[in-house]
Amino acid sequence: MAGHTTQLQNLIDLATKGDDSAWEAILLHSCERLRSLASRMMRTNHRIRRWTETDDLLQNSLIRLHRSLNEVRPESPRQFYGLATTHLRRELIDLARKHFGAEGVGANHLTDGGIAADIEPTDAEPESIEAWAKFHEQVEALSDTEREVVNLLWYEEMTQPEAAEVLGISLATVKRRWQSARIRLSESLDGEDFQ
Amino acid sequence: MSSEEKISDLLLRWEEAQERGEDLDVESLCADCPELAEPLQKRIVALLRMGWMTRPQNAANAPDSKVGTTLAGRYRIDELIGEGGHGKVYRGFDPELQRPVAIKLPNDRRLNTSDLLEEARKVARLRHPGIVTVYDVGQHDSEPFIVSDFVSGTTLCEAGPFSPQEAARLIAEIAESLHAAHEQGFVHRDIKPANVLIDLQGRPLLTDFGIATALDDTQSQTVGTLPYMAPEQLGDEPTNSDRRTDIWSLGVVLYELLTGKLPFDDPSPAKLSDQIRNHVPLPPRGINSKIPPALEAVVIKCLAKAPEERFETAQQLAHALRTSRRRHSMFWTVLVGLFIVGIAGLIAFQNWDHWFGSVANVSSSPNSKSEPTVLRFIGGAAIHTPVERFAPCTLEAWVRPNEYKDGCQFIIGSDVSGEFGIGIGICGENLAYEYLPGLEVSETPVTVRSWSHVAAVFDDGETKLFLNGQHVWTGPATKVEGGTNFVVGRVGETNLSDEYHGYIRCVRISRGTRYSASFSPEDVFKPDDTTVLIYDGENVEALDVFDVSGNGNDGKWVTVETSH
């Protein structure tokens, strides 16, 4: 992963200097992140086993992501990641709402009897599509500095030193923000006040 | 320091200890600040709850963490389609080339990764319609992967049952593909029904070339493939496998198809190994009396203990199988001869697209003599020329594109990554050329599935495009000297995008301005003083494409071995 991020870093540098093919490669990377996170979100949904049923929706999301990112040119890697993850998260929330919300095709599709969605083990990732949507929304609600760190460490799967470099802050600051972001997320997701 | 900062510090210590695998308890952390124990404990609980955010994302998923992920930043893994002794096989998708692929993730501990990758890279150069094409190999998170053509269908294990005639036809086809591989220096070493795929048209394709080569020799005897192994692969001092080893294994498969049984089948590996080396199998006709004697003789010859007593080449085996079928069906052939000729002609015609002019053209199809042979571009491979790009020049070809693409498909290209080169191609549906500053797209479409002559003349003052001899576009000129070589079927040697899909009958690169006004294109390119190279589908041997202009600029089919 580290090598990949470094490569992306170089591409962003090239793109900021006006290299179109580098920009295209970056867009592809963002689309792949969306595809990967979307498939993860949908696979953990116990109501629908066959997440391939959502392929059309995902395709639309990918096209929208590609289009919205293509309209801008980042001036720095930091700005790119900010934009890309914001769009990415919006598409994930939209995907969850459209597919599994009241109007979604999955709404009345309880192939498992719906039992699994209510069980949430203590350190397991969201077990339902609704919980995933809530998670993404709560990330959106974090402070700018905390969200930026979550963007890089979780959505982009960077290492902490890589994130520190992109943000131009110390590793210790990255650690602190990452920690407080997770505590805040736990608080908002589980409704308990820790701070 | 405020108590919030103190808690934060303690939490970082706790988390760093966790990463090292140590579990610090709150009491020892708060030894000098017992008043912070409670809030610290709550925050630890919060972090534990969000523990999934810190785990590697791939590991978090069940049932198969690979599905939905992307390999090497490129290949999407969609579905597990097979699992065997050497690892897992997934159906995947290559978004760059927009095609489904099969992705193998070998996880056999006996496999030597570097040997495996080296072998797979070699296999990637092997192109034959009867062999599953390897597109790419690499490592992702230190695990090797192999990307190959996705074949819809089944393996030979699930196919059948077959009549003796069908079995003979099938094995003859496999033997011909195997021969093509042998001729290029490959030995399969692990031929078995699981390594033969049958596509939706019923055609057999050999897969997993090279995997067995990477197995640690000292442990290569496994129950899974032992029944198909040859005597020389077994025993205390196994000798080197050669093409006759594969002929033995194919003989075992044929025996199995004909009789429904393995020639040697003791459940104990030691006894099975002994049977293979020292016992004579039951004659196939003793199990199935419908097997023609000539066909039985072929099986027995394949299963000769001494390699030198077997067929010397897989081609000879194929020939013997086809002859045995002909002998058997002589009566019927005479009776319905004319009818069969008619049908065969029809089948040959229908299958033409698939069979003739195969990329590497490694085996001569019986049909290929009666029709012009072409260079066939299906993606993943292009012809590298030894000619450095230059201008002024004239690039031309007879082409039959398969389809229009959203981007461009280059018939001849010479760009280097991140820059343009000079080349001729089709963008969307229109004839186009690339020159150093960019791309010029004409307004004239090149008809798909139909033959057209295309030419680009890079002159000192301008660049002209011609379609079927008609001047259709004039654009800016370019200057270039060296930097990279011309490549046929792709925009540049290393640039995987913009590959041409379709047929090219012949290609000519010439110095200077060959055409300045509309002209009548030659059906067959002939060399003259300005010609630098001419390739056609007739003068191809294995991966070598011979320059018929007499200038010695022979090309080579090259696949892209490295992922992006």
CA B170 to chain A, closest CA, distance in angstroms equals: 35
Cis preceding-peptide flag for B263 (omega within 30 of 0): no
Contact A179 B11 (CB under 8 A): yes
Q: Who contacts B127 (Cβ-Cβ below 8 Å, separation ≥6)? A: B133, B358, B359, B360, B362, B381, B543, B557, B559
B68-74: average pLDDT: 87
pLDDT of residue B330 exceeding 60, the answer is no
Contact criterion met (CB < 8 Å) for B43 and A175: no
pLDDT: is A168 or B334 the higher one?
Answer: A168
Task: Check A176 against B12: CB less than 8 A apart.
Answer: yes
Chain A, nearest residue to B56 by Cα: A157
Comparison of pLDDT for B60 and B292, the residue scoring more: B292
Give percent of chain A above pLDDT 90.
18
Question: Residue B205's pLDDT is what?
Answer: 94
State how far residue A195 is from chain B, nearest Cα, in angstroms.
8
Are the beta carbons of B254 and B260 closer than 8 angstroms?
A: no
Interface contact A194-B70, CB threshold 8 A = no
Residue B511, pLDDT > 90, answer yes
pLDDT value of position A56: 60
User: Is ipTM strictly over 0.90?
Assistant: no
Q: Is B68 within 8 Å of A186 when comparing Cβ atoms?
A: no
Stretch among A139-143, B219-223, B389-393 having the lowest mean pLDDT = B219-223
Confidence at residue A149, expressed as pLDDT on a 0 to 100 scale? 95
What's the average model confidence in pLDDT over B34-45?
Answer: 88
CA distance A124 to B45: 13
Out of B78-87, B208-217, B410-419, B431-440, pick the least confident. B208-217
What Å distances lie between residue A145 and A133, A175, A176, B351, B423, CA to CA?
21, 12, 11, 62, 49
Q: Do A122 and B47 touch (CB under 8 A)?
A: no
Radius of gyration of chain B measured on its C-alpha atoms: 30
Interface test with A, best of B50, B439, B491 (most A CBs within 10 A): B50
pLDDT for B109: 58
Which pairs with CB-CB distance under 8 Å and at least 24 residues apart come from A1-7?
Answer: A1/A157, A1/A158, A1/A159, A1/B141, A2/A159, A2/A162, A4/B73, A5/A156, A5/A157, A5/A158, A5/A159, A5/A162, A6/A162, A7/B73
Q: Which residues of A touch B67 (CB under 8 A)?
A: 39, 43
**Which chain A residue lies closest to B40 (C-alpha atoms)?**
A194
pLDDT confidence of residue B215: 56
Q: What is the pLDDT of residues B353-369, one digit of tens each?
A: 332 233 332 222 333 33
Contact A179 B50 (CB under 8 A): no
Of A35, A123, A192, the CB nearest to B51: A123
To the nearest 10°, report the CA torsion of B332, B338, B342, B347.
20
pLDDT of B349 strictly over 60: no
Q: Is B48 close to A190, i.e. CB distance below 8 A?
A: no
Band (pLDDT 50/70/90 cuts) for residue B282 is confident
**B68·A157 Cβ contact <8 A:** no
Amino acid B402: pLDDT:
84
| Mean pLDDT calculated for residue range B85-101 | 84
Q: How confident is the model at residue A49 (pLDDT cuts 50, 70, 90)?
A: very low
Using the beta-carbon criterion (under 8 Å), do A179 and B61 form an inter-chain contact? Answer: no
Contact at 8 Å (CB) between B509 and B393? yes
Q: Cα separation of B389 and B411, whole Å? A: 14
* Alpha-helical segments (H) within A72-190: 77-100, 129-140, 144-150, 160-167, 171-190
From the list A123, A125, A187, the residue facing B48 with the nearest CB is A123
Closest CA to A3 of B141, B67, B496, B494: B141
> Nearest CA of chain A to the CA of B9: how many Å?
8
Q: Is the pLDDT of residue B213 over 80?
A: no
Q: Which of B8, B42, B564 minimises the CB distance to A194?
A: B42
Chain B CB within 8 Å of residue A4 CB: yes
Q: Which residue has the higher pLDDT, B481 or A180?
A: A180
Q: Evaluate if residue A163 carries a pLDDT over 80.
A: yes
The owner of tokens 């979550």 is A150
Task: Name the token pair of B308.
Answer: 């030198």
Query: Which of A7, A24, A125 should we substitute to test contact with B (largest number of B Cβ atoms within 10 Å)?
Result: A125
Contact B48 A180 (CB under 8 A): no
Nearest to B412 by CA among B462, B372, B458, B366: B458
| Cβ–Cβ below 8 Å for A40 and B67 | no
Cβ neighbours of A50 in B, within 8 Å: none
Banded model confidence at residue B110, pLDDT cuts 50, 70, 90: low
A36–B69: do the CB atoms touch at under 8 Å?
yes
CB B538 within 8 A of CB B373: yes
What local confidence, expressed as pLDDT, does residue B296 receive? 92
With a cut of 70, say whether residue B161 has pLDDT above it: yes
Q: Is the pLDDT of residue B169 over 90?
A: yes
Nearest-by-Cβ selection for A122 from B48, B67, B78: B48
pLDDT at B251: 97
Residues in B whose CB is inside 8 Å of some CB of A read: 4, 8, 11-12, 15, 39, 42-43, 45-54, 57, 60-61, 67-70, 73, 76, 78, 95-96, 141, 417-418, 564
**A179 and B53 in contact by Cβ < 8 A?**
no
Over residues B42-53, the mean pLDDT reads 88
For chain B, give the percent of residues with pLDDT over 90. 33
Please provide the size of chain B in residues. Answer: 564
pLDDT value at B340 more than 50: no
Greater confidence (B486 vs B373) lies with B486
Q: Which of B150-159, B204-213, B219-228 has the lowest mean pLDDT?
A: B219-228
Q: Minimum mean pLDDT among A43-52, A149-158, B246-255, B502-511: which range?
A: A43-52
**Residue B462, min C-alpha distance to chain A (Å):** 26
Q: Is residue B468 pLDDT above 90, yes or no?
A: yes
CA distance B423 to B396: 10
What pLDDT does residue A194 have? Answer: 47
pTM beyond 0.90, yes or no:
no
The pLDDT score that the predictor gives to residue B223 is: 34
Stretch B259-282: mean pLDDT? 84
Average pLDDT over residues B321-346: 50
Put simply, the answer to whether A182 touches B53 (Cβ < 8 Å) is yes
Q: Which range among B216-230, B370-384, B460-474 has the greatest average pLDDT?
A: B460-474
Q: Give the count of Cβ contacts less than 8 A between chain A and B.
A: 85
Residue B561's pLDDT is: 52
Q: How confident is the model at residue B336 (pLDDT cuts 50, 70, 90)?
A: very low
Among B53, B61, B73, the residue with its CB nearest the CB of A154 is B53
Instruction: Assign B194 a pLDDT band (cuts: 50, 70, 90).
Output: confident
Contacts of B495 in chain A (CB under 8 A): none
Confidence of residue B514 (pLDDT cuts 50, 70, 90): very high
The residue that leads in pLDDT, B306 or B121, is B306
Inter-chain CB proximity B76 and A21 less than 8 Å: no
Q: Which among B13-22, B40-49, B337-346 has the top mean pLDDT?
A: B40-49
The reported pLDDT for the residue numbered A123 is: 65
Q: What is the CA radius of gyration of chain A?
A: 17
Q: Per-residue confidence at A193, pLDDT binned at 50, 70, 90?
A: low
CB contact under 8 A, B418 and A22: yes
pLDDT-derived band at B221, boundaries 50, 70, 90: very low
Q: What is the mean pLDDT of chain B?
A: 81
Residue A64: is it exposed, middle or buried by C-beta count within 10 angstroms (0-12/13-18/19+)? middle
